[in-house]
Amino acid sequence: MRTQTRLDAAIVESLLAAAVAAPSIHNTQPWRFRLDPDSQVLEVHSAPERTLPLTDPMHRAQYLSVGAAVFNLRLAAVHQGRRPEVRLLPDPHEPGLLATVRLTGSLDADDQSSDPGLYEAIARRHTSRMPFTGRPVPEPIVAEMASAAHAAGARLHVPGITGTRRLLRLTAAAEARNRAHLDRTAETRTWITAPGADTPYGIPVTALGPPDAAARMPMRDFTCALPALRRPALWFERHVQVALLSTSHDRREDWLRAGQALQYVLLTATAHGLRTSLLHQAMEWPDLRAATDLPGHKRCHPHMLIRFGYGPDGGRTPRTPGQCPVRAAASPATDTETS
């Protein structure tokens, strides 16, 4: 029988520091943590006040973000020499409880061989919306990224030139729709923050990228047509390297799994010195999301288009330090608790 570990404050702090470093849509950080003092289980809840009702009405992107945070929690537990036992959606009566993590004891020799480079990559990973050099990523690294997705229960497909063009065209179509949708642009704009703004959420303008001078790369335009926020255009890489992350089912637990797979892939890339950015726009329109699925593949539910390559680092985004109130006996989540 596995022993249960008491989570002292230092362990909880290190787990949460790793969790909140995860990527999240518009840097909404849509998670909250709580510790059940009896079971010593760390609970990961959704944060209903940090959702995007127009961009993400089904909360799919929120689940992806929380899944990425859960993956970081697992790595941090292993880094502490503890074995994490993760349950997704453990309680049907509490839909806002997205995952629980229980540390069940010490790792054995095999577990300890799990890649320490991934944990270190957590702090180094940042979204880079800058042009990349176009230098091809060696095949063994791409294969490792695909294995990472597979190990987390997802699939990573790296298309050839024609397939890449098709995915970028669909992303560009989604981006055009987003820009034309005034309420969506207004929603996005509320998550863009001025330099020096004292807010732990959202994306500072310094972390936004330039538009592509060749208008080929459909990066998300977070400036929402505000000329004051727009940077001068730069030339993006001609040969774009992208990968499509998908799962074979499309339930809520698959979205959480896809989020874990996303983070596994991003950290694998980071550990190899790659930069990454995310092109999620097509996933936000049901018809365009359906059109991104892989021709000839049954049961392919796409979740993210990942751009990867060599290039400059991205600008920093802020985080709210993870806090972990102790769960009062049988109390439901309240909106007054912070992340």
Residue whose C-beta lies closest to ligand FMN: 23
Strand order in the sheet with 97-106: 31-36, 41-46, 97-106, 82-88
Q: At what angle do helices 60-79 and 9-20 cross, to 10 degrees?
A: 140
Q: Give the count of beta carbons closer than 10 Å to the beta carbon of residue 192.
A: 20
- Map residues 200-229 to x or -, x wherever contact with ligand FMN holds by CB under 6 A: ---x----------------x---------
Residue 103 or residue 236: which is nearer to ligand FMN going by CB?
Answer: 236
**Three-state DSSP class for residue 266:** helix
Residues in the chain: 339
Spatial neighbors of 228 by CB under 8 A, at least 6 apart, are none
Spatial neighbors of 20 by CB under 8 A, at least 6 apart, are 29, 31, 69, 319, 320, 321, 322, 339
Residue 85 or residue 120: which is nearer to ligand FMN going by CB?
Answer: 120
Distance of closest approach, residue 113 Cβ to ligand FMN, in angstroms: 28
Which residues in 271-290 contact ligand FMN (CB under 6 A)?
277-281
Distance of closest approach, residue 70 Cβ to ligand FMN, in angstroms: 12
Distance of closest approach, residue 65 Cβ to ligand FMN, in angstroms: 4
Which residues in 19-78 contact ligand FMN (CB under 6 A)?
23-27, 61, 64-65, 68
Residue 43 or residue 175: which is nearer to ligand FMN going by CB?
Answer: 175
Closest CA to 259 of 52, 73, 118: 73
Distance of closest approach, residue 105 Cβ to ligand FMN, in angstroms: 31
Query: Per CB under 6 A, does 184 bind ligand FMN?
Result: no
Q: Give the count of beta carbons closer than 10 Å to the beta carbon of residue 150.
A: 13
Distance of closest approach, residue 30 Cβ to ligand FMN, in angstroms: 9
Stretch that binds ligand FMN, among 109-117, 121-129, 144-152, 245-253 (CB under 6 A): 121-129
